[in-house]
Chain A
Amino acid sequence: MHRILVIEDDAAIRNVLRVLLCAEQYRVVEAETAARADIEARTHRPDLLLVDLGLPDGDGITVIKEVRAWSTVPILVLSARTMDAQKVAALDAGADDYVTKPFSAPELLARVRAALRRSARNIEQPPVLQLGNIAIDLTRREARSPSAEVHLTPLEYRVLDCLARQGGMIVTANQLIREVWGPGRLGDTRSLRVCIKNLRQKLEANSSRPQYIVTEPGVGYRLRVPLVTDAVPASSRRAD
């Protein structure tokens, strides 16, 4: 039973979140203010934080930074659509993903599940990815499709690896560049875009309407993919 700390000042939204999460068998702890949030986080040791960026007594980003100083607990950000800059800042400060308000229940729950899953296999080896009918073994750097061998460059493997390790959660462009190209190339989004484009051409059925490597405009990318380990329940869910 996972404990989720909801940090949100609006009582109505808190209420909706509580009903939603409780229905999914999560235990919900609530905090109204940034000051309260830190205390609750230290006392309840939640498995996930849902942080609203606009808090009355301070920035949600401060909460994220404070928590990140002592914990690797997954953090989801709730933000309004017009707050792109803050979204990126929150991700750079250590948040793992975001949900845009107004959000739909399935969307929120999917993000929550993905975040909890990533945290569960935090230390595990990167698994084998199954994108459609292409299987990619990230440790061995091998990609196969039923028809032919797919050739990926080392850079493309590293990008894919980086996206896969986040387990369906968003990775900002800068995080990707830092991990793959090194901090010296920060801001050079052009190489990244070219790399992503090539990856899509190799892995996606229709690279103009990508199913797996999805762009979040102005923020980053996420790998929308069921991992091999729980691919069966995911595909069965899709089937019904």
Chain B
Amino acid sequence: MLAKVIADETRARRGKLRIFFGASAGVGKTYSMLEAARVIRTSGVDIVIGYVEPHGRIETEKLLEGLEQLPTMPVNYRGTLRREFDLNASLARRPAILVVDELAHSNLIDGDPAPRHAKRWQDIEELLEQGINVWTTVNVQHLESLNDLVAQITGVRQRETIPDRIFDEADEIELIDLPPDDLIGRLKAGKVYVPEQVPTAIERFFRKSNLIALRELSLRRVADRVDAAARASVLTDRTSRAWMARDRIMVAIGPDAQAEQLVRAGKRIADGLDAEWSVVYVETPELLRLSAAERNRRIDLLRLAESLGAETVTLDGPSAAQVLLEYALTRKATRVVIGAPKRRGVWAWLRPSTTSELIRNARGFDVITIGLADEMHPPVGRPAPSVLAEFAAPVHWKRYVWALVTSAIATAVAFAMFPYFELVNIVMAYVLASTIAGVRFGRGPAVLAAVVNVLAFDFCFVPPRFTFSVADVQYIVTFAVMLIVAVTLANLMASVRQQTRVAGARERRTSLLYAMSRELAATRGLNNMAVVAVRHIAEVFDCQAVVLLPDSGGRLRHPGEAAVEVSFKNADLSIAQWVVDHGKRAGLGSDTLPAAPALYLPLTDEPQRLGVLAVLPANRRRVLLPEQRHLLETFAGQLGLAMERARLADQAEAARVSAETESLRNTLLASISHDLRTPLSVIAGASSTLVERGRDLDEDTRQSLARAVETKAREMSELVSNVLDLMRFESGQIALRRDWQTLDDLVGSALGRVEERIRSHPVEIVIPPELPALFVDANLVVQALVNLLDNIAKYTPPDTPIHISAQVDDALVLVTVDDEGPGLPAAQRERLFDKFQRGQDEGSVVGVGLGLAICRTIIQAHGGVITAGDRPGGGARLQFTLPTKEPAS
């Protein structure tokens, strides 16, 4: 239900696709499309021709007159100049409806300039995504799932196909139907092809029987589509699809030629039952030895299955039938599609095929076997096995030697036994030796040992002794059994070992994934995370990699410094940008720009794009293996998750800080309003009295009122300065203007500034003459000192002595400001430097508790520390450090 709503929503924003659908070339799709275009043009709709293939047909060309046509794009293709549909021009023109002929057309992937997508249907997808309505044409033989059927009917295999999804999701399908006789008539009249091509065309493709079959196929396909639409609406009207017992199709494929047929058959069955379906490939030890070409074919097959809408799974296990059974049961498959057994006679009885085994053990699902198509022949013999280097066991000559040694030992033991035991028991020594060789040394050495054992037994013990001739024929049976046992055992062990190696390789990769996740979790900062990920990915996939992150403007950029040598430095930013904009992978082996040398993966499918992982593999094929690609995507996803998590954490932190700032602002407002209002009321009162009643007052009163105005104004001025200073500090607007200063100078200036306020306090200054110069901002340090002294003036009684001293402490100078006043309240010492803290409760003393907060900010900005404590002998002690050296940066 929800899925349907979402699908509807995406559709609402997407452009609408209208397909003019025909059974074959020449039925008049393009003609009908252009006619419709002319009609709609007259009603004022903004319809534009993006690309139409006229095939030199005069009627079609006539129809084009009077319609706006976008210029085609010249493409240099292997020395010749072709004209191709211009996607970018269409996106720029943004018509209401764009007409693009030939939905199944393949773009010239090697052309110059290289196309963005391999196929025209991808161009059209992008147009639709951008909200442009598209009209296009396609023939039934281009539909992927019908591809092999059409090939069977006509004997011509169509290379250009479109995914059925495009056809099924089209908003409107217009079937252009023409009876076969009329079509042949048009063909002969030269309306479809240029006359000289006609005879061969009729002969090869346009036979009447073919045309009838194709017509039926296309009618049925359209009918199916109507049916499916009707069913979908009925189902959504009822409660939910989950109520329905749904079919689940599992297509089991092997490495043989029938696999492709099975995939297409699976698709048709799944469509017919409206079921989900998956294609399963089992990797058995046997199959691991297939040649690279075979494996590549399998990759293409799995990709075909994916493009047909299947979920693809690669499983591994010792026996294909066993693994398929387990998978079918766990995924609750209702039908299993598999190729018909091909083994016949005794061989089939000895080693039953996967199919027969599956049928025998089928529980809870049906097995549909698909017979071989006529055109196909079972593969003659196995292609030359070429062991994939990755999983191959290296040849160990030493093991052959060891195998011979076991045989020698067995012979020695047998000689020792000979006087006391029957030959039947002596054979056991050799069987034991063969078994050990099979278990320990692998297939080759085991076979060697078995053969040598048989020969040694024959030569040494079987009468006549010390010849290879055999007197009694029954020993031949002994030899045969010995050999079979040894070889079978060796084979079994080899399989197990191979399996272990494969599993080991997988496990290694999984553990690498965990290693990356773990390191990512411990890494701070997106750029550092990218570096970590690049290092891991490059190691695991044997490639160069780079993570492209967007800058503040949202444009992707290369990382500033190439932090790792495996960094991929020539990543194509325009491809990467496309990936990030569309959230789909592109480049090598993908649907978009497959000719690019590197693969570009989005870090997340989420709309807030995090970045792109670009990978330049050392070996192209390796990244194309589906499981490798999935693993790579897992890595990218893992990185994306980690980065997303980091970003969220940052946001949470920012939110916390902003909340804190907010509460600070409120406290500040409350506090300031009190401290501003008091002097303001004095000023307003005193000055208004002077203005109104000044003449009636005596000179002394006037003087005292004016003084009050002056003092209060000064207090306010200082308060406002403090608040402004702190604001500027907090917002980071203050840059330190450092210079070399002597402490005497700074202390002198500070005392000068507070002279009036501390006039009654005796000040003692002890600054050693050898004190080095300080590299500080003079104004700010003076401000800090002024605030400290002010504080003393406010909170200590008059005549309290003040002591200022300094001492060198390594690269720092420690400045101590002591007073002999009442000391600091112990409970508040911790929070003394926080904003709005005061030594006493509000009221008696003027000034928001900002002075010490500003001190701390200033000292910290210089890289120093400020602390508060007790002066030995009574009173408060405030100490801070300042640097004597220029900061390293």
Contacts and interface: CB of A to CB of B under 8 A. Distances in A.
Contact of A193 (B721, B725, B742, B749): B742
Interface in B700-717: 710, 713-714, 717
B730 to A, nearest CB: 15
A200 B737 CA distance: 25
Contacts of A218: 737, 739, 777-779
A189 B779 contact: no
A215 interface: yes
Contacts of A102: 713-714, 717
A106 to B, nearest CB: 11
A207 B744 contact: yes
B721 A215 contact: no
Nearest to A187: B739
B315 interface: no
A100 to B, nearest CB: 10
A214 B752 contact: yes
A160 B860 CA distance: 36
Interface stretch (A19-27, A78-86, A89-97): A78-86
Interface residues of A, number: 22
A174 B751 CA distance: 24
Interface string B679-716: 00000000000000000000000000000001001100
B748 interface: yes
Interface in A201-226: 207-210, 214-218
B746 interface: yes
Contacts of A190: 740, 773
A28 interface: no
Nearest to A193: B742
A209 B763 contact: yes
B782 A217 contact: yes
A196 interface: yes
Given A102-B713, A208-B767, A209-B763, A217 B740 contact: no
B747 interface: yes
Contact of A209 (B713, B751, B782): B751
A209 B765 contact: yes
B740 A193 contact: yes
A118 to B, nearest CB: 22
A208 B804 CA distance: 10
A120 B717 CA distance: 35
B751 A82 contact: no
A147 to B, nearest CB: 21
Contacts of B752: 209, 214-215
Nearest to B725: A82
A82 B737 contact: no
Most B C-beta atoms less than 10 A away, residue of A194, A197, A217: A217
A158 B431 CA distance: 112
B258 to A, nearest CB: 83
A189 B751 CA distance: 22
Contact of B721 (A81, A104, A189, A210): A81
B436 to A, nearest CB: 86
B749 A215 contact: yes
A27 B740 CA distance: 43
A84 B735 CA distance: 12
Nearest to A104: B710
Contact of A85 (B737, B767, B782): B737
Contacts of B739: 189, 218
B713 A82 contact: no
Nearest to A221: B745
B779 A217 contact: yes
Contacts of B741: 193
Interface string B739-770: 11110111111011000000000010101000
Nearest to A88: B737
B724 A82 contact: yes
A84 B767 CA distance: 28
A217 B777 CA distance: 9
Interface string A221-235: 000000000000000
Contacts of B749: 214-217
Given A102-B713, A218-B778, A196 B737 contact: no
A146 B749 CA distance: 29
Interface of B: 710, 713-714, 717, 721, 724-725, 728, 737, 739-742, 744-749, 751-752, 763, 765, 767, 773, 777-779, 781-782
Given A197-B742, A215-B752, A216-B749, 16 more contacts: A81-B721, A102-B713, A102-B714, A102-B717, A193-B740, A193-B745, A196-B745, A207-B744, A208-B765, A209-B765, A210-B748, A214-B748, A214-B752, A215-B749, A215-B778, A218-B737
23 contacts: A81-B721, A82-B721, A82-B725, A102-B714, A189-B740, A190-B740, A193-B740, A193-B773, A196-B745, A197-B745, A200-B744, A208-B747, A208-B751, A209-B748, A209-B751, A209-B765, A214-B752, A215-B778, A216-B749, A217-B749, A217-B778, A217-B782, A218-B737
3 closest cross-chain pairs (CB), A and B:
A218-B779, A217-B778, A208-B765
